Amino acid sequence: MRQVKTLGLLGTGVIGGGWAARALHFGIDVLAADVKPEMETWIRGAVANAEGALSRLTFAPLPPKGRLSFTTDLRAMARQADFIQENIPEQLELKQRVLADVSRHAPGDVVIASSTSGLLPSELQRDMEAPQRFLVAHPFNPVYLLPLVELVGGEHTSPQALAAAGSFYRYIGMHPLKVRREVPGHLTDRLQEALWREILHLVNDGVATTGELDDSIVYGPGLRWAGMGTNLIYHLAGGESGMRHMLRQFGPCLQWPWTKLEAPELTEELIDRMVEGTQAQANGRSIRELERLRDDYLVAIQQVLRQYNIGAGATLRALEERLYEQSGAVACPGIESALSSDSGEALRLIETHVRPEWVDYNGHMTDSRYLQVFGDATDTLFRYIGVDDDYRKSGRALYTVETHVTHNAEAKAAEALYVTTQVLAVDDKRVHLFHCLNRRRDDALIATAEQLYLHVNTAAGKAAPMESLVRARLEKIRAAQAGLAVPAQAGRSVGMSRT
């Protein structure tokens, strides 16, 4: 299977727009195909609406954003895409016909995945060419924030296609969950529908309103489910004996007539109750307003879970680790080139731009973001010398002990920037760095940061000599830059003139 540089979308809509926003944000070009020309405006609007929340999901260094293109020629999309995600309406015959046609134009090593929420992959791949590269990849709305994607293979699906799809989805920050065998509705929708049936019964019987039922989830189980699923939560409910005690104690309740498996008839009266209840809950807020509210709390929850490396937070942390590794890898050729130069030069470590959420009330990049950008440059340098995740896990790290930032010019929203770094001094335990933040369009100096780092044995909690190879790499950089002048800002103190 090929490396994915361009994601082809077969159909747009809410799910297609979510796929586009996520892929573009993590550097994948998107070619969206829909038979309705007006969907180009719709999908561009959907991507723009998602950007605010996506931009706050992680502050790890991101690759350049992907480019969004649109076509009404489904076959042309199939010929150009490296991976195809189908998002057309949930009609079996329609999907079968379109997937079969597209499969005859997509190269044989291009994975084709369907976003279907319940149709079986064996039925969908029936008439396809090279059906072994087809699978179901069912996401959840909003796709650009919720990391879960259910992977379901059909009768002809190859293990290679499932593995390639999993790799791609992980690359764009998702949690691929492989379903062991195909069943209607896959896994999550079957669970959701069981809850949904009970909601309809309780509303139909006049037991509760939609708002009261939502409260019963939001203030209770929903909070637990964000980090632990039902089964692990019930394991905890059993005390020290866990799930075994829980089932013995509460298992008999399953025989009580609490729940109703059959859904009630969707009468006009029941539909009216559901509509009136949800309109009351919306309280005059538009769908777009509610989407932004939902997106904001989803970002916040994932960032909290990230601290505990659990649930969606673990997926976010894994994504960030990959982004930092990628940023360091991208900078390596430039570092090697700079070190081989006879003249010696500052290392150009990161390329970035001023994200909209980095801008303060003055319209310029806010103070904390300067530290973040300089920190990203330092992270890239440290990864190059060998102070990476494995090094830190071994109980050793370089800690910041002093930072002095000077501001020379303004950095406005969307401004392209880069950082160069000079190693001023190094010994067994300390590293003295000097960073320059520059504007890419004219190389103007925006800000500088002088930093002192101390090598620490984290287990002992005290300074300790760094590994010899790390010290040697730092010394090589310092020696290569020995001919560079010491920056004028280096060693300056902060204070007002006494005159």
- Sorted by where each begins, the domain ranges of the chain are 6-178, 188-284, 341-480
pLDDT of 497 reads: 65
- For residue 18, CA distances in Å to 14, 45, 75 come to 6, 11, 22
- Distance of alpha carbon 246 from alpha carbon 236, whole angstroms: 8
- Residue 499: predicted pLDDT: 58
> Would you state the pLDDT for residue 492?
84
d(CA 182, CA 72): 32
The listed CATH number (3.30.720.200, 1.10.630.10, 3.30.1360.70, 3.10.129.10) that belongs to domain 341-480: 3.10.129.10
pLDDT at 110: 97
Q: Which fold has domain 6-178?
A: Rossmann fold (3.40.50)
Cα-to-chain-centroid distance, residue 228? 20
Residue 393: exposure state from Cβ atoms within 10 A (0-12, 13-18, ≥19): exposed
The single residue listed with the structure tokens 């000077």 is 406
Strand order in the sheet with 6-10: 68-71, 29-33, 6-10, 83-86, 111-114, 134-138, 148-153, 175-178
| Vertex 273: Cα angle to 271 and 275 (nearest 5) | 70
Query: Nearest CA to 43 among 137, 123, 144?
Result: 144
CATH annotation of 188-284: 1.10.1040.10
Give pLDDT, residue 498.
Answer: 60
What pTM does this model have?
0.85
Tens of pLDDT along the chain (499 residues) come to 789 999 999 999 999 999 999 999 999 999 999 999 999 999 999 999 999 899 889 988 888 899 999 999 999 999 999 999 999 999 999 999 999 999 999 999 999 999 999 999 999 999 999 999 999 999 999 999 999 999 999 999 999 999 999 999 999 999 999 999 999 999 999 999 999 999 999 999 999 999 999 999 988 899 888 888 888 887 887 788 888 877 777 777 777 777 777 888 888 998 898 888 888 888 888 888 888 888 998 999 999 999 999 999 999 999 999 998 888 888 888 888 888 876 678 899 888 989 888 888 888 899 999 999 999 999 999 999 999 989 999 999 999 999 999 999 989 988 999 999 999 999 999 999 999 999 999 999 999 999 999 999 999 999 999 999 999 999 999 999 988 999 988 988 887 666 5
